[in-house]
Homo-oligomer: A and B are copies of this chain.
Amino acid sequence: MRKISQKFQVPFSYDVYFTESLFKEGNGLLADLIDAKDKSEGVKVLIAIDEGVKATHPELISNITEYIDSHTLNVEMVCPPLVMPGGEKVKNGGLHVEKLLKAINEFGLDRHAYLIGIGGGSFLDMAGFAAAIAHRGVRHIRMPTTVLAQNDAGVGVKNGINQFGKKNFVGSFSPPFAVINDASFLSTLEDRDWRSGITEAIKVALIKDKDFFYQIRKNATALLRRDGKSMASLIYHCAMLHLDHIASGDPFEKGSSRPLDFGHWSAHKLEQLTDYRLRHGEAVAIGIALDSIYSHLTGLLSVSALNEILTLFKELKFNLFVPELLPDYNTSPSANPLFQGLTEFREHLGGQLTIMLLEDIGKGVEVHDIDPEKMNRALLKLKKFEEDLTNAADK
């Protein structure tokens, strides 16, 4: 038996930009990024837009066209921007990926051409997957339009779609060519979307950065009244923590650990159990609250730290309990369908179950076992916490 051991490293790099009014005259960012200045042939660009974004920004498409015309770029927009659904439904099955692949083929995009995606996290997950597998990867520029996508999903290296009813069952690790966070998109978000993006910042603060947590608490009322400056600072800091984490850790998740998924095992399952009635960030808020209570019940987290966490969510007006968390009181706790989320979470990542808990604000700790009995107590506590608040409000 002979053996050849193959070993190599692949370098990846991309810039994440924070700007405003990207397509207004005078903003040269995109022009500089994609212009094929010294090439004889213009570079091809295909743009895909989340229909929710188009609806709230009816001027977007004409702005894009004018922008590209006015900069006299050596760029060929191969067709008018493709408008596709946004939200989780665009990720269910391969239909929209297929549509983008078709356009990439029809207009002859190559690996050096650009697929620009403008939309929320789910939309970019879908578009990013199409970009990743066409010709084994065309250049993908992400323009996230929600808080969640700008501070979390949109700045990372993952993409994917749902299949067999499982979130992100199909996907890849494919760093984007660049990410452009345009703050102008945030002003038209519904309150729910504005707020729910904040949970990922709270999450990363809780496991990594105590100061950041207290900064969010300090700014909570400003964030609630939709202060742009507070949000810009939150997004920048959260994106930076995410990017640091990716670069210093295990970018393509070869191990069994995924620290940034604190609170996510139940959140992913809850999104499915509620038929995506909850926004991802709303489900994550519940997941974080639940795993924080569980952290306390196992003796890891002090009661005062737990209260600070729950208080912050309530200051931000998050609802922390939905009936799907405790669907049936008569069966044994481990029969709760929510717990199937633990199996699916382990299965998606592989290897040993690894769940992030908290031992302090700003300090996560990984465990490899979850006690269903104790988790059930955490669920009951969470329920009571919400009920007491509601009752107090009613009085």
Contacts and interface: CB of A to CB of B under 8 A. Distances in A.
Interface of A: 1-19, 29, 94, 101-102, 105, 108, 110-113, 132-138, 155, 158, 160, 163-164, 166, 168-175, 236, 239-240, 243, 246-248, 251-254, 256, 346-351
A155 B346 CA distance: 30
A236 B240 CA distance: 46
A48 B351 CA distance: 22
A6 B13 CA distance: 5
User: What number of copies of this chain does the assembly contain?
Assistant: 2
Given A163-B105, A170-B133, A351 B6 contact: no
Nearest to A11: B9
Given A9-B11, A94-B94, A135-B347, 19 more contacts: A2-B17, A3-B18, A4-B236, A6-B12, A6-B15, A6-B155, A6-B175, A6-B247, A7-B11, A7-B247, A8-B12, A10-B252, A101-B164, A111-B349, A133-B133, A134-B169, A136-B158, A136-B168, A136-B172
A20 B243 CA distance: 46
A347 B133 contact: no
A18 B164 CA distance: 38
A121 to B, nearest CB: 16
A246 B5 CA distance: 12
A246 B6 contact: yes
Contacts of A132: 172
A11 B172 CA distance: 16
A225 B40 CA distance: 52
Given A16-B4, A110-B349, A101 B163 contact: yes
A18 to B, nearest CB: 4
Residue of A10, A18, A136, A254 ringed by the most chain B CB atoms within 10 A: A136
Contacts of A1: 17-19, 29
A164 B102 contact: yes
Contacts of A134: 169-170
Contact of A105 (B11, B16, B169): B169
